[in-house]
Amino acid sequence: MAMMMKLNGSVGIGGNNIRPDVVAVQTLLAQRGQRPGAADGICGPKTIGAIRAFQATFLRMPDGLISVNGPTWQRLTGSGGGAGVGGALGPAGSGLGPLGPVGSGLGKLPGAQVPLPPKDGNMTTPVARPPANTFNVGLKAVSNQMMKSMFGMPRDSFTQDCQPMNNAALKRNVVTDNVGSFKATGLRPAVASLKQVYGEIAGALPQLAPRIGTAGMLCCRLQRRSKTAVSNHSWGTAIDLTINGVLDKYGDGKVQYGLTLIAPIFNRHGWYWGAAFGTEDGMHFEASVELANKIKAQLS
Ligand SMILES: [Zn+2]
């Protein structure tokens, strides 16, 4: 079987996902013993899961994305450092051979485990929270003090309930806009970023994207179970997501499977995932220090 051994674009979460590239990746993944689903050229959750599972055999931080001629592609084609598969795939079944030199020593770290699709394949099924070093990569969580000094307080007093924002300078930057499958109200640059994130999700995970909804973005209130800490929803820089209308259960240390697929895309855009909080909050994404700075720079 003649098969191109070059990708025209990246494949996976947030990738270009050009159909023949996706077919090639799906075929190679299957030959490596992964389960990407049918080689249909559509980069859905099964294919993403298979990419991450394959990456977990040699990467500490599987990102679900295969870049053109990057390490994952080289491992997949056996072209990484002389594994000798060369320019052709050879007969079916031969692909289970050596993965190439395992010099990295990272292959069997506990941290290399990533959630695999649950048996029922359901996006809302809770799975173990991924290892801490595999998400929020390169991001720092904001503190209340930092938010206060960057943006000012959204209002004077807070309770556990949503109350209106009454900081006029902030308020004039609040918009409600269509993010894709849902509307969100928050600071304009934050909502604009969400639209970019959603666009990537729609490209990489077309079956999941329309199932995503929200349980709220702007909401001036205290953090759950706190009498003093102000929620980042108060600034309109945090959002709670639903899948099929279902909220992830708060604080159980598990997260909906679908959230594990979209978290890397949020990560790349500077959104810090609440799965990392002491009390796991898997439905929650908020602007990190890095994104908060960008938002601040774009306020009027
Ligand atoms: Zn939240």
Please give the pLDDT value at position 114: 53
**What CA–CA distances, in Å, run from 2 to 58, 89, 149, 201?**
28, 8, 60, 32
In the DSSP assignment, the letter for residue 287 is E
Please give the pLDDT value at position 108: 34
> Could you tell me the distance, in angstroms and rounded to a whole number, from the CA of residue 155 to the centre of ligand 1?
18
> Could you tell me the distance, in angstroms and rounded to a whole number, from the CA of residue 234 to the centre of ligand 1?
10
> Could you tell me the distance, in angstroms and rounded to a whole number, from the CA of residue 44 to the centre of ligand 1?
27
Please give the pLDDT value at position 119: 81
Q: Per this entry, what is the length of the chain?
A: 300
> Could you tell me the distance, in angstroms and rounded to a whole number, from the CA of residue 181 to the centre of ligand 1?
18
User: Rounded to two decimals, what is the model's pTM?
Assistant: 0.66
Rounded-to-integer distance, Cα 258 and Cα 239, Å: 16
Please give the pLDDT value at position 59: 77
Please give the pLDDT value at position 248: 97
Are the C-beta atoms of residues 246 and 196 closer than 8 Å to each other? Answer: no
Q: What is the mean pLDDT of each run of 10 residues along the chain (300 residues)?
A: 70 89 90 86 90 83 88 81 36 35 34 63 92 92 97 97 97 98 98 97 93 98 93 98 97 96 95 96 98 97
> Could you tell me the distance, in angstroms and rounded to a whole number, from the CA of residue 298 to the centre of ligand 1?
23
What are the b/e assignments for 6-42, b being 16+ CB within 10 Å? ebeebbbbbbbbbeebbbbbbbbbbbbebebbebebb
Please give the pLDDT value at position 102: 33
